[in-house]
Amino acid sequence: MSSLPRIAAVFACFNRRDAALECLRRLQSQTRLPDLVVIADNASSDGTPEALRASGWDRLTVVDTGDNLGNAGGIRIAMDHAFAAGADAVWILDDDSWPRTGALEALLAKDFDPGLVRHSLQIDPVGGHYSWPLPVRSASGTWHTIRHPDEWPASDRAESRASWTGALVPRAAWEKAGPVLGELFIRGEDEEYPRRLAAAGFRFEAVRDSVLDHPSAKNLRRWQIAGKDFWFETGLEDWKFYYEVRNTVWLMFREGSALKGWAIAFLHLLATLLHDGWSGSRWRTWRLALADARASRLGRRDF
């Protein structure tokens, strides 16, 4: 592998023109520019693809997906396109995860390792804390879940359990684990794909100085049950709640953990009843998500 790997930054977008343009601007401002930027546009109707192409950047490719495939479907198309174009690794972003100037350079500060998935850290630009809880292993070998940069261990890199947004996925990992499962649509690819990467033998490493500005979930809550954390977001629209339940439960069923699948389904139901209150539509959405998870009915469902 060359000491100068060919890096592609990818993200998907749908009717968020300003966010996509800002993400592109941040990529153009990197101290180490990506060699290729592939953006999958999910049939936006607000002029997003036209505005992106108008930048005139010769490193940019905007792929029209032809339909709204969700983040999972869009990322799959963008990643597959980038690797077909000769990328050695793909840097997965969201349209609203905006890399700070030295983010990509920090990911590549040491020799590129095709057997390791390094990843950026996501920091909420308002609160200054990590956008999502981050499990890292300390020098003593113990795992800690940290929420703020002040809790970072005394090193510039730390082993982590998984990553999606900000992950630098080498070609070898993509070839061994396979492409992203686009049928998840949204809210599930960030768990399913890292699990597949780990099962394929790839480790994850967080890089302290590679930072993405990314807003955190507004109503993220944690329950500790039998020493394990259960994280969930309250106040979701029914359609987002559907994908959250369906995809997380389906993943457990796929891995042969029917008991865990049922447990997660009921935890989601209990959490939404306690924090969002009872509603007939919520109950129907939960039952539909559970039925689809049990039957492995994936893909987009219109509400």
Instruction: Give me the average pLDDT of each 10-residue run along the chain (303 residues).
Output: 82 98 98 98 98 97 98 98 98 98 95 94 96 90 92 93 97 98 97 97 97 90 82 91 97 94 95 92 97 97 89
CA–CA gap between residue 240 and residue 186 (Å, rounded)? 8
| Range 7-213 classified under CATH 3.30.700.30 | no
Specify the pLDDT at position 2. Answer: 47
Name the residue ranges covered by the structural domains of the chain: 7-213, 220-294
Specify the pLDDT at position 35. Answer: 98
Query: pTM of the entire structure?
Result: 0.94
CB 31 within 8 A of CB 102: yes
Burial track 27-56 (b if 16+ CB lie within 10 A, e otherwise): beebebbbbbbbbbbbebeeebbebbeeee
Q: Which of 292, 179, 281, 302 is nearest to 245 (CA)?
A: 292
Query: Could you tell me which residues come within 8 angstroms of residue 231 by beta carbon, excluding any fewer than 6 positions away?
Result: 133, 220, 221, 222
Burial track 123-160 (b if 16+ CB lie within 10 A, e otherwise): bbeeeebbbbebbbbeeeeeeeebbeeeebbeeebbbb
Specify the pLDDT at position 37. Answer: 98
- Beta strands 228-233 and 116-123 are unpaired
Specify the pLDDT at position 222. Answer: 82
